[in-house]
Amino acid sequence: MPKGIPLTEEEVAKRRHEIFHQVARVFLKKGFQETSMRELAGSAGVGKSTLYDYFRTKDDILIYFFEDQLNDLTEAAQKVALHNSPADFRLRQVMKVHLEFLQANKSLFMKLTTEAQRLKLESQKQIQKKRHAYQDLLRGLIEEGIREGKFRNVDPLLAARMLINTMAPVVFTTRPTGTAQEMLEETLDIFLKGLQA
């Protein structure tokens, strides 16, 4: 970690966050593969060796992005999930939070999701742990909905994964049928009620 006065874990985390958000613009402009660590250091206003103190490789920056976003999403969703309201209502609210997160970094998600697929298996598993925490939160809400009689008895983990995957056509479509919020509402209606008349 940085030399000189030792930083607290909180200070290191804050600095990593700041550096990431400065270098993210370069990834968006030039692309992940085309950007060197020297360019990233310059965009963050630090020396290359300082950048290496916080991120050893570009892949570390990529992993950081997904872990940071998933941590923030899960934390925000957890606050909604703890409310005292019916599970189906809370599930809808969590998916609205999810939409906001994706929209806030839409371009970056598009660019970096492709890059994440070429990460080493160990790194992908690291990101998967964070994804699984979010999936488990949704699964818990679906299980509550089943107990409340709001949902029929389905495989809650499979349903959670399917629900997460419905977000891509809402956010990343090239043929929108309304605003993202309108498409999300329609998607949730289709998901929760099915297509049957």
pLDDT of residue 9: 86
Can you identify the CATH homologous superfamily of domain 58-193? Tetracycline Repressor, domain 2 (1.10.357.10)
The domain 1-56 is classified under which CATH number: 3.30.1300.10, 3.90.79.10, 1.10.10.60, 2.40.40.20?
Answer: 1.10.10.60
pLDDT at 1 over 70: no
Tens digits of residue pLDDT in 96-147: 999 999 999 898 888 888 888 888 999 999 999 999 999 999 999 999 999 9
Q: CB–CB of 64/54 below 8 Å?
A: no
Q: What letter would DSSP give residue 4?
A: S
Cβ 12 vs Cβ 54: under 8 Å: yes
pTM: 0.86
The string of DSSP codes covering 174-186 is SS-SS-HHHHHHH
Does residue 8 sit in helix, strand or coil? coil
With a CB cutoff of 8 Å and minimum separation 6, the contacts of 135 are: 157, 160, 161, 164
Q: What is the pLDDT of residue 132?
A: 97
Calpha distance 117→106 (Å, rounded) = 17
CB 155, CB 138: distance < 8 Å: no
The 3-state DSSP composition of the chain as helix, strand, coil percent (nearest 5) reads: 75, 0, 25
- Domain coordinates of the chain in residue numbers? 1-56, 58-193
